[in-house]
Amino acid sequence: MHVTLVHVHVLPEHVADFIAATRPNHAGAVAEPGCLRFDVLQAPGDPTRFVLYEAYLDADAAAAHKETAHYQAWKSTVASWMAEPRRGEPFTGLLPVYP
């Protein structure tokens, strides 16, 4: 399993915009054949900080996500709302085990 934790810090005036723009990316991602999980998390103590938990069957499925129209639209829409660049932190998912 290929997992990426994407750390996102949004400008305070764009928090609601970011959440709204992330909804269609989330909906598209969870419909992708290789997507196992795509969670959008918001820090309780700082509403400008988010983590996207993206779990794909393998690295190819994760790479395919970045080629989708919903990801490309999300990326271009939210780019100017970032307080700092997004940071992806890769992991190898051990459990649960997927075939």
Query: DSSP string spanning 2-68?
Result: EEEEEEEEB-GGGHHHHHHHHHHHHHHHHHSTTEEEEEEEE-TT-TTEEEEEEEESSHHHHHHHTTS
For the entire predicted model, the pTM comes to 0.94
What pLDDT is recorded for position 99? 72
With a CB cutoff of 8 Å and minimum separation 6, the contacts of 72 are none
Q: Could you list the pLDDT tens digit for every one of the 99 residues in the chain?
A: 999 999 999 999 999 999 999 999 999 999 999 999 999 999 999 999 999 999 999 999 999 999 999 999 999 999 999 999 999 999 999 999 877
What pLDDT is recorded for position 98? 78
Residue ranges and CATH numbers for the domains of the chain are 2-92 (3.30.70.100)
What pLDDT is recorded for position 8? 98
